[in-house]
Structure formats: structure tokens, C-alpha cells
């Protein structure tokens, strides 16, 4: 079933705003423009990608070297589309797709999008964490939702260090480490989030060892577990990239701290919980961020740090490892804002798969770089 893909990473901010009329920050739009062709790497046969600024020469060159299924959409080809798969859904996204003259009947209703927005709120982590207890899986990062300054301060004073999180945000944005700010600054930032989004989520800080995510796909009826991604952040906590490697390699890197059976139990439990919570309302890939942390020299899993009810870079890393690198190769996918940087491509392919070197996943861009380096 041909799908139409749209890379719209600014949607996370639009989702918080909640209206169809929205003006994204300049850098968010720069990332969108830079990454327009990114969905080509995960398209299925017959899929199309919206890219008004497509570098067709770059597309032709990449398709000559890798097995890529997607095509750049044009007004004449949109009639074959039966399903739309943007990076993320919001009323803002729906309006953008309607502006391409897509048949409105294949788009979700406003009520369905409102439900996706509701499920994208960070309080879903509280609901899921409580349900995980039924499977004997505790979550030490169980968030507390504060609706005013007093509730937030009461929670903060109980814990030595906490994180403040905006209800709608992702990729490290809207997350504030409060360990190095005073109480006045804590109140100022918390009240700003509460004014904009109605509440603020508070979580006690843990001694983090490793970030990872479990990746799922909802077909509208059931949720299927797809795999694990290992990611890393900047020093300020924003998303920076993913490990590109086989599932065996990623599992090995995690099971040096925790047992594989623990991961399997969490994946099985989440599949059942998410089938009930997510499947009736959402179609597509999504991810649940997790964390390995240390407490008194014992390693534990925080099984529900954040839910990204949208396509994720982790899914791209998973698909890239499955489709586009040679067996046994491993590397990193980097996403960075680097206006003065040039990516020196020096990659080697074997049988249409990356063997070694560095490859840009997008055409040259002035502001953003998205590339993979394989050992």
C-alpha cells in the first residue's frame, strides 16, 4: 500500500501548540528543509516522499549505489497515494498535507489527531509505568505532574536533584536538569512551562549509564515490537545520534549491565500494554525511551522515560542496520547543527551496502548535517 512520507520534525512543537495555524522556529524549519529526503532510506516499495527542494541529482546518485525503494513525489503521482505517514501527526501537519491536494478522506480526522496529541502527553508515562507494575516491572522515574509552583517545589524538596519536563516535547528539548540552578530559577522555568502547557512533569535524577529505546509498530489493531536502538545525547541533553549496528551487537552492549531476560520481559509487557493504549488510535512506528542507571553498584532499567508517538531516528538506525550496511559492520549516525562543517564522504559499498567510511544521508546543507560513519 503506497504511503506518502513527510519529514516534519518541527511537529513536536506544533503538537504542544495544538492548532493548525503555527509558525515553527527558524532552526526547526532549517532541519526540516535539510532532511526532506531522509525518508527515502526507510521507504517501502512504491512509497513517495514530499520534497519541494529535492536535489534530484543527489537522489539519482544515491539510488544507483543503494537499494532504495522510495521516489520523490510530484503532483502527477500523488493520486496513487492511499496512506500518509508524516514524521508526526498534528492539526498543523494535516493542514500541510491538505495543501498538497491530498484526498482528505485518507487523512485522520481532527478528533483522531486530538487523541494522538493526548497520548503524546508525558503523563502517558505515568499510566504506562503503573501498568508495568502489573507485570512486576517497577519504574523508579515515575513522573509527578505538577500543576502549580507549590506542587513542583514540594516534589523538588523531597529529592536532591530533579528534571523538569514539558508535557509535549522530545529529543531532549523541554527537559531541564535542575541540579545546577537555584530555587528562584527553578520556579521561573517551571512556571514558564506551566503557563505554556498547563503543567510540568517532575522526575528525580538517576545515575545514568546508558540511553536506549525499544521500537514498536502499530498497525491500528495490534502493536509489534521491532527492536532496540542505542542513542546518545549532547552534554546539554539534546539528541545527538544513534549507534548503527546489528541487534546482536546492541543487545551485547546492554547486557553487560542487565540481563537479556529483563529486556524481553519489558518488551513483552509493553507490547501488550501499548496494544490497548496506542493501537486503536495510531498507525506507524514509535519508540519508548529507556535508561540503564546505577544505584549502589547495581544496575537497573528505567523502562519508560519518554514515549515518542511518531517516527524516530532510532527507527532509521534500526532500518539502516538491517538494509544498508554489510554484515558485521557498525558505526554511528550523527545529527548536528554545524553551519561551518563539511562532511567529507569517503564510503565504500559492497553489493549496495555500506562497508566502511562516511556517508551523508541528506544532500549538502548549510546548517544541518545528518551522516553515518562506519568502521
In this prediction, residue 75 carries a pLDDT of: 85
Q: What is the mean pLDDT of residues 269-296?
A: 96
Nearest to 18 by CA among 281, 196, 238, 280: 196
Tell me: the pLDDT tens digits for 67-97?
999 999 998 888 788 899 999 999 999 999 9
Tell me: the pLDDT tens digits for 158-178?
987 899 999 987 666 788 888
In this prediction, residue 294 carries a pLDDT of: 95
Measured CA to CA in angstroms, residue 200 lies from 135, 187, 363 at distances of: 28, 11, 38
Tell me: the pLDDT tens digits for 4-39?
999 999 998 898 888 998 888 899 999 999 999 999
Q: Report pTM.
A: 0.94
Distance (Å, whole) CA 285 – CA 236: 27
Q: Is the pLDDT of residue 140 over 80?
A: no
Question: What percent of the chain has a predicted confidence (pLDDT) above 70?
Answer: 99
Tell me: the pLDDT tens digits for 31-56?
999 999 999 999 999 899 999 999 99
Q: Is the pLDDT of residue 1 over 70?
A: yes
Question: What percent of the chain has a predicted confidence (pLDDT) above 90?
Answer: 79
Give the count of beta carbons closer than 10 Å to the beta carbon of residue 230.
21
Average pLDDT, the chain: 93
Nearest to 305 by CA among 239, 357, 349, 252: 239
Q: Is the pLDDT of residue 137 over 80?
A: yes
Distance (Å, whole) CA 319 – CA 187: 42
Amino acid at each position: 500500500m503506497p504511503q506518502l512520507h513527510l519529514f516534519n520534525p518541527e511537529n513536536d512543537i506544533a503538537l504542544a501548540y495544538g492548532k493548525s495555524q503555527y509558525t515553527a522556529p527558524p532552526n526547526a524549519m532549517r532541519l526540516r528543509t535539510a532532511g526532506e529526503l531522509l525518508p527515502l532510506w526507510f521507504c517501502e516499495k512504491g512509497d513517495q516522499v514530499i520534497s519541494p527542494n529535492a536535489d534530484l541529482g543527489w537522489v539519482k546518485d544515491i539510488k544507483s549505489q543503494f537499494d532504495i525503494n522510495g521516489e520523490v513525489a510530484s503532483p502527477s503521482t500523488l493520486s496513487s497515494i492511499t496512506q500518509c505517514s508524516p514524521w508526526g501527526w498534528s492539526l498543523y501537519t494535516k493542514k500541510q498535507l491538505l495543501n498538497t491536494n491530498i484526498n482528505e478522506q485518507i487523512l485522520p480526522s481532527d478528533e483522531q489527531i486530538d487523541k494522538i496529541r493526548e497520548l503524546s502527553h508525558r503523563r502517558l508515562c505515568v499510566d504506562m509505568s503503573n501498568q508495568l507494575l502489573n507485570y512486576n516491572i517497577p519504574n523508579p522515574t515515575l513522573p509527578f505532574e505538577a500543576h502549580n509552583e507549590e506542587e513542583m517545589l514540594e516534589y523538588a524538596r523531597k529529592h536532591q536533584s530533579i528534571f523538569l519536563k514539558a508535557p509535549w516535547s522530545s529529543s531532549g528539548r523541554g527537559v531541564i536538569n535542575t541540579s545546577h540552578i537555584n530555587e528562584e530559577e527553578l520556579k521561573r522555568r517551571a512556571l514558564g512551562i506551566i503557563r505554556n502547557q498547563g503543567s510540568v512533569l517532575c522526575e528525580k535524577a538517576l545515575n545514568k549509564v546508558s540511553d536506549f529505546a525499544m521500537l514498536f509498530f502499530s498497525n491500528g489493531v495490534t502493536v509489534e515490537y521491532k527492536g532496540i536502538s542505542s542513542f546518545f545525547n549532547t552534554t546539554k541533553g539534546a539528541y545527538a545520534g544513534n549507534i548503527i549496528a546489528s541487534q546482536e551487537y546492541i543487545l551485547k552492549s546492554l547486557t553487560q549491565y542487565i540481563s537479556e531476560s529483563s529486556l524481553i520481559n519489558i518488551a513483552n509487557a509493553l507490547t501488550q500494554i501499548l496494544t490497548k493504549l496506542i493501537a486503536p488510535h495510531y498507525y506507524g512506528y514509535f519508540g519508548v525511551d529507556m535508561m540503564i542507571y546505577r544505584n549502589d553498584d547495581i544496575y537497573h532499567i528505567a523502562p519508560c522515560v519518554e514515549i515518542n508517538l511518531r517516527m524516530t531516528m532510532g527507527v532509521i538506525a534500526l532500518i539502516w542496520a538491517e538494509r544498508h550496511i554489510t554484515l558485521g559492520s557498525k558505526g554511528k549516525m550523527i545529527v548536528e547543527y554545524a553551519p561551518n562543517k563539511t562532511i567529507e564522504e569517503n564510503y565504500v559499498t559492497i553489493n549496495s551496502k555500506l562497508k566502511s567510511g562516511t556517508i551523508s544521508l541528506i544532500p549538502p546543507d548549510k546548517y544541518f548535517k545528518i551522516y553515518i560513519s562506519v568502521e
